[in-house]
């Protein structure tokens, strides 16, 4: 999963601070993922200066802590609003760092036993000759 460059460029605006962060996550089925998050600061109405840049290290630290327990997108915006109001918060990219080892026994245990009774029945049909039909169509 990844954002296209034109989507990323359309999100960038003037008078905003771009905040990027990443965190490594281990799933319950033993995958290790690296999730990249991107967010932008909002322009407040009561700002005294024309530009107000947030301290990215403070927001990045808080953002990573809020990203881990499945808070994505809008939930990240709500969680970081006490530090600095954010907008357009997305999970920009997810990389798979480590795959679990393939174990057929464990896979069958998780997904249930596969019974051979569900397999279809073989039909005995004579093969049709498509060449004869094509010749008949060409003559007409």
Q: Encode pLDDT of 97-140 as tens digits.
A: 887 776 677 667 766 655 555 566 777 777 666 655 555 555 55
Residue 69 has pLDDT above 70, yes or no: no
**104 within some domain:** no
Rounded Cα distance, 86 and 79, in Å: 10
Q: What is the CATH number of the domain that holds 18?
A: 3.30.479
Q: How confident is the model at residue 83 (pLDDT cuts 50, 70, 90)?
A: confident
Range of the domain at 38: 5-98
Residue 129, both tokens = 């000759």
* 114 belongs to a structural domain: no
CB 92 within 8 A of CB 63: no
Residue 103 in any domain: the answer is: no
Please tell me the total count of domains within the chain. Answer: 1
The helix or strand, by DSSP H or E, that contains position 66, with its residue range, turns out to be: helix 56-67
Look at residue 6 in the predicted model and tell me its pLDDT. 79
């Amino acid at each position: 999963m990844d954002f296209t460059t034109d989507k990323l460029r359309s999100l960038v605006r003037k008078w905003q601070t771009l905040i990027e962060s990443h965190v490594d996550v281990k799933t319950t089925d033993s995958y290790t993922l690296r999730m990249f998050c991107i967010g932008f600061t909002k322009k407040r109405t009561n700002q005294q200066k024309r530009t107000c840049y947030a301290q990215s290290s403070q927001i990045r630290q808080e953002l990573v802590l809020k990203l881990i327990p499945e808070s994505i997108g809008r939930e990240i915006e709500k969680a970081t609003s006490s530090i600095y109001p954010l907008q357009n918060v997305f999970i920009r990219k997810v990389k798979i760092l480590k795959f679990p080892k393939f174990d057929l026994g464990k896979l069958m245990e998780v997904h249930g036993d596969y019974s051979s009774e569900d397999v279809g029945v073989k039909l005995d049909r004579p093969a049709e000759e498509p060449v004869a039909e094509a010749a008949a169509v060409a003559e007409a």
